[in-house]
Amino acid sequence: MKVTGFSHITLNVRDLQTSLDFYHGILGMTIRHRGRTDAYLEWGSAWVCLIERAGTEEHAEGFAGMDHVAFYIAENDFKEAVDILHHNNVTIVRGPIQRGTGWSINFLDPDGIQLELHTSTLDERMEIWR
């Protein structure tokens, strides 16, 4: 099996409009589809599906869950992204910090899902871990 890159992630959210305000309004993802309870957004070569699920918290027990989702961002664009997160009072979990050859910042969406912006590639990270 040969995977060539990040494809997408599906996130269960409590309120679709609140999540769209965050993902589209603050992070700048492009809305490709908006349904009654779902939306598909594009961010560079990645895409994200948001699905509104009533009672997500009640049904979360027993699910493995997700630690975070990381997106690559060019180092030239990193400071502006950090400024946008701070300007919109987004909860920062860690960073911005330098990790290996790149910069990283971890933050939460409106449902507490942890996201990361990182400026180095896997190849660059592996170079320092040899």
Domain that holds residue 117: 8-129
- Give pLDDT, residue 126: 62
Beta bridge partners of 84: none
CATH number of the domain at 123, please.
3.10.180.10
Q: Is 51 part of any domain?
A: yes
Residue 3 falls within a domain, yes or no? no
How many structural domains is the chain composed of?
A: 1
User: Is position 61 within any domain?
Assistant: yes
Whether residue 22 is contained in a domain is answered as yes
* Cα 16–chain centre separation: 15
Q: Which residues are catalytic?
A: 116
- Dihedral class, residue 9 (left if φ above 0, else alpha if ψ from -120 to 50, else beta): beta
Collapse the DSSP code of 86 into the 3-class scheme (helix H, G, I; strand E, B; otherwise coil) and give the result.
Answer: helix
Q: Tell me which DSSP letter residue 29 carries.
A: P
In a 13 Å sphere around the CA of 17, the CA atoms on its Cβ side amount to 1
**What stretches of 7-127 adopt beta strand conformation (E)?**
8-13, 30-34, 38-43, 46-52, 69-72, 92-99, 102-108, 114-118
pLDDT in tens, the chain (130 residues): 455 567 678 888 889 999 999 999 999 999 999 999 989 999 887 888 888 886 645 555 434 456 688 888 888 999 999 999 999 999 999 999 987 788 989 999 999 988 888 888 767 766 765 5
Asked, for residue 83, whether it belongs to a domain, the answer is yes
- Asked whether residue 106 is assigned to any structural domain, the reply reads yes
Is 110 among the domain residues?
Answer: yes
